[in-house]
């Protein structure tokens, strides 16, 4: 009986060591992937403004639940599979539109892990990376002066789900933008 117990105990120890070795290897692989930028992905080639049916549009919402867009309610996207998930309000402003876009650019430049990559009189593009694994998300903003809003889109480059990260980031931007008045 004692011998059987010793045998079981040594078997459990062997499996525990193997499990720890596997976890260490996975941790090392994840660390290498993060430091090499493998989880950053590449920017989608279709970012930027486009025109359709007399409307200025940002990139469409993603077909999977990993983006938000203030243009998700447009009739063009009426049958979009992620319309409800992607729906988010644009940034509203009062007064001078170019000054509001400049204020937004300043907000983005002050945010951690966020880099402004494109700037024009009516459009901003930024990249933001997550703190934990370094995933990169693309953000776009278009100044719609007649409506006194800045339309926006934030989408993940990799993965099928964003677990609310894009919505959370946009709401943080909204709060900072409102405070910067």
Whether 73 contacts 85, CB under 8 Å: no
* N-term to C-term CA, the chain: 77
Instruction: Compare 15 and 131 and report the one with higher pLDDT.
Output: 131
Q: Please give the share of the chain, as a percent, with pLDDT higher than 70.
A: 78
What average pLDDT does the segment 168-178 reach?
97
The verdict on pTM exceeding 0.85 is no
Instruction: Give the pLDDT score at 163.
Output: 87
* Residue 138 backbone dihedrals phi, psi, to 5 degrees: -100, 135
Instruction: Give the pLDDT score at 29.
Output: 46
Q: Please give the share of the chain, as a percent, with pLDDT higher than 90.
A: 64
For the record, the structure tokens of 116 come out as 């402004």
Instruction: Give the pLDDT score at 1.
Output: 55
Confidence of residue 132 (pLDDT cuts 50, 70, 90): confident
Instruction: Give the pLDDT score at 142.
Output: 98
What average pLDDT does the segment 114-125 reach?
97
Question: Cα–Cα distance between 88 and 125 in angstroms, integer?
Answer: 18
For the record, the structure tokens of 89 come out as 């309000």
Instruction: Compare 54 and 141 and report the one with higher pLDDT.
Output: 141
Instruction: List residues bridging with 124 in a β-sheet.
Output: 119, 141
DSSP state of 179: H
Q: What is the pLDDT of residues 62-116, one digit of tens each?
A: 999 999 999 999 998 999 999 999 999 999 999 999 999 999 999 999 999 999 9
Q: What is the pLDDT of residues 148-164, one digit of tens each?
A: 999 999 999 988 888 89
Which of 35-39, 65-69, 177-181 is predicted most confidently? Answer: 65-69
């Amino acid at each position: 009986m004692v011998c059987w117990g010793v045998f079981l105990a040594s078997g459990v120890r062997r499996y525990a060591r193997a499990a720890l070795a596997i976890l260490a290897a996975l941790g090392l692989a994840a660390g290498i992937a993060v430091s090499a930028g493998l989880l950053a992905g590449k920017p989608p080639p279709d970012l930027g403004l486009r025109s359709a049916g007399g409307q200025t549009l940002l990139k469409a919402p993603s077909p999977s639940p990993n983006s938000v867009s203030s243009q998700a309610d447009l009739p063009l996207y009426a049958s979009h599979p992620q319309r409800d998930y992607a729906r988010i309000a644009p940034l509203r402003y009062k007064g001078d539109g170019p000054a509001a876009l400049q204020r937004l650019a300043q907000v983005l430049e002050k945010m951690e892990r966020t880099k402004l990559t494109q700037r024009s009189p009516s459009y901003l593009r930024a990249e933001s990376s997550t703190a934990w694994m370094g995933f990169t998300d693309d953000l776009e903003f278009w100044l719609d002066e007649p409506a006194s809003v800045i339309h926006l889109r934030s989408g993940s480059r990799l993965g099928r789900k964003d677990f609310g990260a894009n919505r959370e980031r946009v709401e943080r931007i909204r709060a900072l933008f409102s405070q910067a008045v």
